Amino acid sequence: MALNYAVDQYRQVKVQTGVQAADPHRLVGMLFEGVIEKVLGARLRMVQGVSPAEKGQLISSALAILDALRASLDKEQGGQLAENLDALYEYMGMRLLEGNLRNDPAALDEVVVLVKNIAEAWASIGPAVATPVAEPERSRVSLSVGA
């Protein structure tokens, strides 16, 4: 029991440190990782038939992350892409609820695949690239040897 507590504390510190050092692009990537981690944890408990309360808690956490991702969408700026992502996040939430209710690991697997696909696409675009700042012109100095 004490070992589990220590491991949980380590994970919390690791996540907090990662969040503090992350840029906005990386933070979204961390949210995707969180969904995957929670869903896989719930799936493990589901197939082992143990700890239904923990399974439900993990699915609730995954749903909360999906809700945060949905809330962060800027549908005005993002247009159709943001609308599509919103619908996909909603669909994934429904699949998680159905999977939990029916103890259906395939529903959870589907969500993991979808999130991994989105996460890979997100990672491939990388953080916003800053416009390089031009180096100031250096004054040219002529040196003459001898007088």
The residue ranking higher by pLDDT, 15 or 43, is 43
**Token couple for 113:** 């695949």
**Token couple for 123:** 């990672």
pTM of the model: 0.73
- Predicted pLDDT at 118: 96
Residues 28 and 19: their CA atoms lie apart, in Å, by 10
Question: What is the full DSSP assignment across 83-101?
Answer: HHHHHHHHHHHHHHHHHHH
List pLDDT tens digits, range 17-57. 444 556 788 889 999 999 999 999 999 999 999 999 999 99
Amino acid at 28: V
Average pLDDT, integer, range 73-87: 94
**Token couple for 117:** 């696909």
Residues 73 and 85: their CA atoms lie apart, in Å, by 8
To the question of domain 2-125 being in CATH 1.20.120.340, the answer is yes
List pLDDT tens digits, range 83-141. 999 999 999 999 999 999 999 999 999 999 999 999 999 999 887 543 344 444 444 44
**Token couple for 70:** 């949905």
List the one residue out of 4, 1, 3, 26 whose CA is nearest residue 15. Answer: 26
- Predicted pLDDT at 57: 97
